[in-house]
Chain A
Amino acid sequence: MADMLTVRVNGVVMCVPPGFTVLAALDRAGTRTCRTSVTGEPRGALCGMGICQECRVTIDGRSHERSCMTLCQDGMEIVTGD
């Protein structure tokens, strides 16, 4: 396997192989909740292919990014729960 990437999930450092999505990094971190719904429910990924928008997280300060469609980059800062 090529060099591992280092990302932070809610402040916790995680190492993932290249090609992993942000959603896969969340999975490795044991985080199943991506966002909070308009009535305050926890929500996680549903469609896995960029359509349902349930897997939105904040990536490097940009909110509403689809974690299932975004590949991990070294040094990425991922925040869930918005």
Chain B
Amino acid sequence: MIEADVAVVGGGPAGIAAATVAAESGARVVLLDEGATLGGQIWRRDVLAAPKGSAAAWLDRLAASGAEVLSGWSVFDAEPRRLVGFRGIVRFHQVVIATGARERFLPFPGWTLPGVTGLGGLQAMVKSGCDVSDRRIVVGGSGPLAIAVAASLAERGAHVALVAEQASWVQIRPFLFAILREPRKFMQGLDYALALHPGVVRFGTWVVGAEGRDRVEAVRVTDGRRTWRERCDLLAVGYGLVPQTELAALLGCRVEEAVWVDREQRTTASGVFAAGEPTGIGGVECALIEGQIAGLAAVGREVDHLETERFRGLRFKDVLKTAFELRNELRHVPRPETIVCRCEDVRLVDLEPFVDRRTAKLVTRCGMGPCQGRVCGDSLEFLKKWGPNEVRPPLMPTSVGDLAR
């Protein structure tokens, strides 16, 4: 049993910032992270390179703060003042939920072929040692991540043949204006653009199918007028990010797409704070501000000095949401025989008789596999406008032995 004044769940930018500032004010803090090394997704440790920039600075500050870091620590159950994981139990007074985001996947014919990955998914794989040099890669989906990932793949020696962004050029203009007002984001965007060959990025273009025998060999894309085929060794597609709110829901917080928080990052559940992507997708700078606010508020400190930056972050969240809104055509991409639930191999046609998730789940096992509906649930929210998954423990596949302890 571990005891803490403040427990922070998630070791990305928001969790690191929260744990650091809380520990700096003298509280007993534990930071629980599922990963082998800290950083979350955006600051994921690259096996071939040391952390740099603000990631390195925050990791140093965290190390000096006195917060206890528990890596490889997954939480599968929670109740007021108590977190239960594979490696033990943590009792806390305040908890900061910084569980980040996951990618939204949308099914298309052939998307279950090996070699079809998420966008952030491929990025994570590359950072953990997978080799993309000289591979021909098509990147698809939506959001700033697509360009960022494409640029980093190119930097690693991949041949990025196409970046298919589903949003139209007109639709993303507000996002470009927002970027212009943020020097750091603008410079980063410029770097990404320069890393790619001109003409590689196409707006208003989306993936309609992947082909191959036992791995992806080609992809079909369309711009609504013309459909064409691109040969590829890897296809990375992700349709934006989804806040990971399961733990917050389990702790009784109000969740409507994202976790509801007040100006101190307080949720509706007593002693429970949330920061970063679980409260709405906003990116790393937003997460750092919200993490600091949550960490300070959790130990009873003032947060007024961060208010302006918090509002800026909220504005950026709104822009992101509308600029990359998913086009209706994507709902018609999967064919009746396309698998929607990859765990249980449930096809779109199998779901046709049902109007809600619960009945579909009971009859077809859709969403009942080991991912617990995290992949098909998010896609069905878009495809069929079904409500969110029910959340109940354990939050991930757990052995009977672990449950017994």
Q: A41-B345, A46-B118, A69-B34 are in contact. Are A53 and B128 (CB under 8 A)?
A: no
Q: Is the CB of B121 within 8 A of A46?
A: yes
State whether the Cβ of A4 lies closer than 8 Å to any Cβ in chain B: no
Contact of A33 among B120, B131, B214, B370 (CB under 8 A): B214
Q: Is the CB of A33 within 8 A of B124?
A: no
Contact of A24 among B112, B115, B129, B339 (CB under 8 A): B129
* Interface residues on chain A, number (Cβ under 8 Å): 35
A22 to B302, CA, bound (A): 45
What chain B residues lie within 8 Å of A54 (beta carbons)? 342
> How many pairs of A and B residues are in contact by the CB < 8 Å rule?
118
**Which residues of B (326-346) have their CB < 8 Å from a CB of A?**
339, 342-345
Q: Is the CB of A32 within 8 A of B215?
A: yes
Q: A52-B375, A53-B370 are in contact. Are A45 and B128 (CB under 8 A)?
A: no
Q: Is the CB of A42 within 8 A of B214?
A: yes
Interface string of A1-32 (1 = CB under 8 A from B): 00000000000000011011101110110001
**Which residues of A (28-75) have their CB < 8 Å from a CB of B?**
28, 32-34, 37-39, 41-54, 56, 64, 68-69, 71
The smallest beta-carbon distance between B396 and chain A, in angstroms, is 8
State whether the Cβ of B103 lies closer than 8 Å to any Cβ in chain A: yes
**Which residues of B (171-213) have their CB < 8 Å from a CB of A?**
none
Q: Is the CB of B129 within 8 A of A47?
A: no
What chain A residues lie within 8 Å of B113 (beta carbons)? 42, 44
Of B34, B130, B343, B344, which is in contact with the most chain A CB atoms at under 10 Å from its CB? B130
Q: A28-B131, A53-B370, A64-B397 are in contact. Are A37 and B345 (CB under 8 A)?
A: yes
Instruction: Give the top 6 A-B pairs by smallest Cβ distance, nearest first.
Output: A24-B129, A44-B114, A48-B124, A48-B121, A20-B129, A19-B47
Given contacts A23-B130, A37-B112, A52-B375, 16 further A-B contacts (CB under 8 A): A16-B129, A23-B129, A27-B130, A28-B131, A38-B343, A39-B345, A41-B345, A47-B102, A48-B121, A49-B102, A51-B102, A51-B374, A53-B370, A53-B397, A64-B370, A71-B36
